Structure 1
Amino acid sequence: MEPETLSICAPDGTPLGASCWTVPDARATVILHPATAVTQAYYAAFAGYLAGRGFNVLTYDYRGTGRSRPRSLRGYHATMREWVDEDVGAVTRWAAACFPNLQLLAVGHSVGGHAIGLSSETARLRAAVLVASHAGVSALVRGFGERLRVRFVLRVLAPVLCALFGYMPGRRIGLGEDLPRGVMLQWAGWTAMPRYFFDDPAVDAARRMARVDIPLLVLGFEDDPWANRQAVDILLSHLPNASIERRNIHPREAGVPAVGHMGFFRRRCEAVLWKSVGDWLLARVEEPAHAAG
């Protein structure tokens, strides 16, 4: 099945490139919120799998990335807060309007999970899955070498490259996609804080996450140096009203050699991990809302 390509307009007029898999007699609609510096194309196989399980699926790119990228990123203004406050809200409202008779679900990868926790539009969701989502504190990165590398990229390289190019040239240094300057520098600033964006009063993250009262499936992987247990603990401690099912998974349990921070969305995870998430989403659709909450 090939998705329909479309454009969704954010409240401030920014066009967001999106793709929608629409299936006959869909059971519900799933929105996929991407990770930082990862475009929607990375999630296409997983989206197709969910469509095969009977879901409409919507993927998209945050402003300044992928199909939502302007002709030039030099001087282009965007922040992570705009991703959450503008883009996530826009695609959620679009899905609700396009499929008004279906329940809404979401899957968020890394910062996409943060978006589910922070967005006021999460109130529209029936349930959500957080994949490798964590408080991205650089001091908590597991492994001395990886921690040193992350700190060098975020604290030294990012400010220099953003000043030189006017944006973060992620492709040139193997950091995934290029990023708008404001996104990169805001992200870098949060990683230096002891509790990530929970220490940024402008985000008001603790209050916003306390509003979330839906069922959440939270997936962490034992070989993920970033979204390790301690970093995930910080994030979940600010979701006191959500009904959380947490799974810490070793790659051998999934029958794969590695999962890490990015591997869940690779096709080799279909037989075990994708199936378990598909089953969980279908169960949330089928059970009464009060039973899940």
Structure 2
Amino acid sequence: MRSESATTTTSDELRIQIPAGGQVVGTVRRPADGAPRGVVVVHPATAVPERLYTSFAEFLATHGYAAVTYDYRGTGRSGGPREHRGLRMRDWMGDDVPAVAAWVRPRFGDVPQLAVGHSIGGHALALGHGSRGLAGFATIASHAGVTAAIPDRAERARVGLILRVVGPATARVLGYVPGRRMGLGEDMTAAAMLEWSRWSRLPGYFFDDPTMGAAADAARVTGDVLAVGFTDDPWATPGQIDAITDHLTSARVERRTWSPADGGVATIGHTGFFRRGLRESLWPELLAWLDARVEAAPPQGDGAVSLRGKKSRR
């Protein structure tokens, strides 16, 4: 955790070419005083910029981990949504997530590798994208985004209006979705919104999409999984988180639900876990889980190589 005596960190920019087109831009943070004891890739949520994860990544780096954060193609630093208008949510999960994992693997091949997936980032891991060879992964607020399952009536109506009316309409007319104006986070690609809209109407979310094969993919995932939810998250309710983890039939799944009181804050919601206010309370809880996976991991092979790119010191 950050303090005046905390270990300094170094950061490097990463750029990964995606075979399907475009590139992912992100950041690698590492402890400055030695080799990392493990590496954690943070896979982001839909329309959530990389900068949300900066403090959490620095926290991990001060505790001996290399931490990787990035933006999906068509968001943030990884290109504009207009130029990537055809990118779907499945493309982020099936192309971007494994590409980042594949980039990390040889560069940190001598230490245990882990991942933290926020919302759709957790979906990708739960479907086996980017989870090969991990010592474990945690999902944060990763749920089946079924609009009808949102318990609060006003929030259900608001989300329904965005996902069924306003979002699809702007996607078709503008060729992208102005997420900042709509309170969704970053602007996003048209195809991602249209796919999100369609999945949100299915009782089983993407598990009911016959073109996904999601149930079979999830059933093949093995290893340790920590699925975290929050009592004040209006979307990722316990039932909707279970709708994802129930398909992880070959994995060892641990479920935790934290409240704002557990974190000593007023609210957490769907994105608040990665804000600095939890660095003294809930971040150490997740860190302890990651540490346990590292300690239990078998010895890793050789193959780490140095990083190259833009550097800064913190």
TM-score tier (shorter): over 0.9
Given the alignment, which residue of 90, 94, 106 partners 1:85?
94
Q: Is the 8 A contact 1:74 1:167 kept in 2?
A: no
Q: Deviations over 1:4-46 (max 9, x none)?
A: 1120111224211010012322111100000000011110000
Q: Contact between 2:30 and 2:64, CA under 8 Å: does it hold in 1?
A: no
Q: What residue number does 2:138 align with?
A: 129
Match in the other structure for 1:141: 150
Letter aligned with residue 127 of structure 2: L
Q: Aligned partner of 1:57: which letter?
A: A
Deviations 1:231-282 (A, max 9, x none): 1111111111111111111211221111111110011011111011111101
The Cα shift of 1:150 comes to 0.3
Of 60, 65, 75 in structure 1, the residue corresponding to residue 70 of structure 2 is: 60
TM-score (norm 2): 0.89
Within the candidate set 228, 231, 235, 2:237 is matched to 228
Aligned to 1:69: 79
Q: Which runs of 5+ in 1 are unaligned?
A: none
Three-state SS of the structure 2 residue aligned to 1:66 is coil
Segments of structure 2 that go 5 or more residues without pairing to the other structure are 1-8, 299-314
1:145 aligned counterpart, secondary structure? helix
**Which has the larger displacement, 119-128 or 153-162?**
119-128
**Equivalent residue for 2:265, pick from 238, 256, 259:** 256
Deviation at 1:142? 2.0
Q: In structure 2, what is the Cα distance between the partners aligned to 1:68 and 1:57?
A: 18
Aligned to 1:97: 106
1:9 maps to 17
2:182 to 173, 177, 180: 173
Which residue, out of 20, 29, 38, partners 2:28? 20
SS in 1 for 2:211: coil
Contact 1:74 1:165 in 2 (8 A): no
Structure 2 counterpart of 1:36: 46
Partner of 2:301: none
Give the count of matched residue pairs: 288
Within 1, Cα distance between the matches of 2:111 and 2:280?
Answer: 27
Amino acid at match of 1:222: T
- Following the alignment from structure 1 to structure 2, what is the Cα–Cα distance between the partners of residues 225 and 77? 29
Per-residue CA distance 1:134-154 (angstroms, 9 max, x = gap): 111101112000000000000
Q: How big is each residue's C-alpha offset from its partner over 1:96-150, in whole Å with a ceiling of 9 and x where there is no partner?
A: 0111111110000011100111134312211011100111110111200000000
Structure 1 stretch 237-246 or stretch 6-15: which is displaced more? 6-15
Q: Which runs of 4+ in 1 moved over 4 A?
A: none
8 Å CA contact 2:126–2:244 kept in 1: the answer is no
Structure with the bigger percentage of helix: 1
Percent pairwise identity: 43
Q: Which of 52, 57, 60 is the aligned partner of 1:50?
A: 60
CA shift for structure 1 position 288: 4.5
Specify the SS of the correspondent of 1:22: strand
User: CA RMSD for the aligned pairs?
Assistant: 1.3
Name the SS for the 2:236 alignment partner: coil
Q: Amino acid of the residue matched to residue 28 of structure 1?
A: G
Higher relative contact order (CA 8 A, sep 6+): 2
Q: Deviations over 1:42-97 (max 9, x none)?
A: 10000000001100011111110111114x61673211111111111110000001
Alignment of 1:193-232 (within 5 A): 193-232=202-241
**Cα pair 1:130 1:218 within 8 Å, conserved:** yes
Supply the distance in 1 between the matched residues of 2:83 and 2:294 (Cα, whole angstroms).
44
Query: Is 2:260–2:268's contact at 8 Å kept on the other side of the alignment?
Result: yes
Q: Is the 8 Å Cα contact of residues 93 and 120 (structure 2) preserved in structure 1?
A: no
